Each structure stands twice: as structure tokens, then as C-alpha cells.
């Protein structure tokens, strides 16, 4: 099985998956860099790209698993997606981006139920589903923090 240039580019989160250490963190940072592109924070654009990267990411994840093994560190498209889910509807301010980054990394590492269980789903899905769950946890907590602080100030 061979991975073409496009699959490698998307699957590895623009090559962040090939970082010697902490490829998931670098993949999350790639998600932020793309989020910082002017206009990308538009929820319609974000939802489109989240959906697109999930749909094209599943068959690419299968290829990465066939070559690199189960839930390979080289596949960081899932971290990019998780970061985008985290930042969806968040004000585009550096402190919300930083809080979202740390929340997502914490949930991605901790993997509270059912995220850890979702990792075991086969056929490429498990590679993405645990990070989608971590992104959803982070999204909910970030939105609660934003809502709470806006009521305070």
C-alpha cells in the first residue's frame, strides 16, 4: 500500500505527524495556524472543513494504519480536526485559542469515556473518533468558560 502526496499532506497534518516527538501537539498547532487564517473562524467555513477532513481522513487513516500500525503517531489530521471543533464559535482572541489548545491537549491525552473506547473502532474510524470526542469535550468546556466569564465582565 502506498500513500500519495495529498494523502500524506492531509493525513500527517501538513507533515506535523513526522515530528520526532509530540506529533499530536504539533498537529494541534497546525490546526491553530489554519484557524488563524483570516475568515477561517467563520462557523460555516469551519464546519465545512471539519466535515471534509473527517470524510477524506477516514480512508487516509486506514492507509496510515496499514503502513505505520494501529493509531499511528504520523497521522495527525485527527488533532487538526479536534482543534477546529474546540475553537468552533469561540471568539478569535489569543487567550481563548490558548485555553482551547490546552483543553484539547488535556482531553486528547486523558481520553475520558467514551473517547478511549472509541479508539478501538476499526477501519480507520477509531483514529479520528477519539480526537473528535476530545474536541467535543473541549468545545463544551471552552463555551462554558466563555459564557461564564462574559457574565462576570
Which pLDDT belongs to residue 20?
95
Question: Radius of gyration (Cα) for the chain, nearest Å?
Answer: 15
**Residue count (the chain):** 153
User: What letter would DSSP give residue 20?
Assistant: S
Ordered DSSP codes for 30-97: HHHHHHTSTTTTSHHHHHHHHHHHHHHHHHHHHHHHHHH-SS-TT--HHHHHHHHHHHTT--S-HHHH
For the chain (153 residues), the mean pLDDT of every run of 10, in chain order, is: 95 98 98 98 98 98 96 97 98 98 97 89 92 98 96 78
Which pLDDT belongs to residue 131?
97
pTM value is 0.96
| Separation CA 34–CA 144 (nearest Å) | 24
Which pLDDT belongs to residue 1?
80
CB of 56 within 8 A of CB of 10?
yes
CB of 17 within 8 A of CB of 27?
yes
Q: Cell 520526532 belongs to which residue?
A: 20
Amino acid at each position: 500500500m502506498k500513500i500519495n502526496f495529498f494523502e500524506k499532506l492531509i493525513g500527517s497534518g501538513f507533515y506535523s505527524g513526522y515530528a520526532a516527538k509530540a506529533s499530536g501537539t504539533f498537529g494541534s498547532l497546525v490546526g491553530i495556524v489554519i484557524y488563524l487564517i483570516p475568515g477561517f473562524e467563520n462557523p460555516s467555513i469551519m464546519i465545512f472543513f471539519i466535515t471534509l477532513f473527517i470524510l477524506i481522513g477516514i480512508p487516509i487513516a486506514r492507509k496510515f494504519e496499514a503502513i505505520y500500525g494501529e493509531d499511528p503517531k504520523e497521522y495527525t489530521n485527527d488533532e487538526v480536526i479536534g482543534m477546529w471543533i474546540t475553537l468552533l464559535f469561540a471568539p478569535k482572541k489569543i487567550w481563548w485559542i490558548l485555553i482551547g489548545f490546552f483543553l484539547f491537549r488535556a482531553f486528547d491525552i486523558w481520553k475520558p469515556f467514551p473517547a478511549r473506547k472509541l479508539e478501538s473502532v476499526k477501519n480507520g474510524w477509531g483514529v479520528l473518533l477519539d480526537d473528535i470526542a476530545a474536541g467535543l469535550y473541549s468545545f463544551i468546556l471552552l463555551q462554558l468558560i466563555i459564557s461564564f466569564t462574559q457574565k462576570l465582565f
